[in-house]
Amino acid sequence: MAKVVTLGEIMLRLSPNGQDRFIQTDIFRIIPGGGEANVAVSCANYGHDAYLVTKLPAHEIGQIAVNSLRRYGVNTEFIARGGDRVGLYYCETGASMRPSKVIYDRANSAIAEANPEDFDFDAIMEGADWFHWSGITPAISDKAAELTKLACEAAKRHGVTVSVDLNFRKKLWTSEKAISIMRPLMQYVDVCIGNEEDAELCLGFKPDADVEGGETNAAGYEGIFKQMKEEFGFKYVVSTLRESYSATFNGWKALIYDGKEFYQSKRYEINPIIDRVGGGDSFSGGLIHGLLTKETQGEALEFAVAASALKHTINGDYNLVNASEVEALAGGNANGRVQR
């Protein structure tokens, strides 16, 4: 059991039931989540002592977010309380050729307006084994970017392994802004997760493959992975490779590189997808568990890919699976027979 710290925003996802569209629903399901929160829940599910560091309003809507983390075993001790808003996003789930659609309403959330004084990063990183954040966190606001830097520095002071999921979000910042913020932060990073598009938009690398096209070319990633490792000294460079055939049917695999070996995982066909949102985060969560507990990068990656394949079959941002369920799938049991 490792101490895993994450830093980022937890929002409420407001979604119609099933595949109903926004303009035909009269209820929203409330689905708390956010990149790093999702990773924290995954780590807690695998038995780790997982923390989300964030800020949430003191009122009941903030409490909904706190309670959902506690419910799934995430330690909320370092969540600052205050500010006005819980970030929201509206999400409707697509089907077949109709894509899922996300509308953000996250500006001016409590974490976007948090200050360094809200957190004692040395206390937070004390005894920690792993620190994970995503490119969303510094994109939220300049204040949040500053918090990210402070957290990374503290992590390094305490000898904590740092992973990042680059996760470029065009609604939050431009590529130029992203590059100016993200590149300096890479010095703290040991494990870098991101596809070619992220590498280009967050770090300025030139892409080799067309990731819009559904079909993905793992071989095309090798060059860029080598450049990334070379420039920033990452221990591991990792990417998922999604093949989007429709909103319901995707192929899913991943690639890891440790400077010696390019290891490509098994490929899964996910059909039907129940909920795609949080798929990447569940991969990060699985990878952290894998790298913390497995002998080889290949085993770690297979755990991460199986974990995130399962996530696609589960409603909500959180990947509500335990390690033995992931191991069963990674071990080859994908026939879906009823477990009695």
Q: Which is nearer to a second copy, 3 or 291 (CB)?
A: 3
Binding-residue pattern over the window 275 to 304 for a second copy, x denoting contact by CB under 8 A: -xx---------------------------
Give the shortest CB-270-to-a second copy separation in angstroms: 5
Name which position in 61, 218, 292, 323 contacts a second copy (CB under 8 A): 61
In angstroms, the CA 86 to CA 62 distance is: 6
8 A C-beta contact, residue 50 and residue 319: no
The window from 58-66, 143-151, 183-191, 291-299 that contacts a second copy (CB under 8 A) reads 58-66
Q: Are 251 and 243 in contact (CB under 8 A)?
A: yes
Please, which residue, 249 or 262, has the CB nearer to a second copy? 249
**Judged by CB, which is closer to a second copy: 140, or 189?**
140
Phi, psi angles (nearest 5°) of residue 105 = -145, 70
Using CB under 8 A as the binding rule, whether residue 174 contacts a second copy is answered as no
Q: What's the closest the beta carbon of residue 192 comes to a second copy, in angstroms?
A: 22
**Residue entry with tokens 């369920």:** 325
Q: Name which of 237, 151, 236 is nearest 194 in CA terms.
A: 237
Query: Of 68-97, which residues contact a second copy (CB under 8 A)?
Result: 68, 70-73, 84-86, 88, 90, 92, 94-97
- Residues with Cβ within 8 Å of 275's Cβ and at least 6 positions away in sequence, in order, are 93, 311, 312, 314, 315, 316
Stretch 109-148: interaction string toward a second copy, x if CB under 8 A: ----------------------------------------
Closest CB to a second copy among 121 and 268? 268
**Residue 58 found at the interface with a second copy (CB under 8 A):** no
Residues contacting residue 268 through CB under 8 Å, at least 6 positions apart: 251, 252, 253, 305, 306, 309, 334
Strand partners, 244: 250
Q: x/- contact string, 216-255, with a second copy (CB under 8 A)? A: ----------------------------xxxxxx------
Q: For residue 167, give both structure tokens.
A: 């996760």
| Among 47, 49, 82, 98, interactor with a second copy by CB under 8 A | 98
First vs last C-alpha separation in the chain: 29
With contacts defined by CB under 8 A, how many residues of the chain interact with a second copy? Answer: 83
DSSP 3-state of 251? strand
Secondary structure letter of residue 255 according to DSSP: E
Cβ proximity of 36 and 7 under 8 Å: yes
Position among 1, 77, 102, 187 found at the interface with a second copy (CB under 8 A) = 102
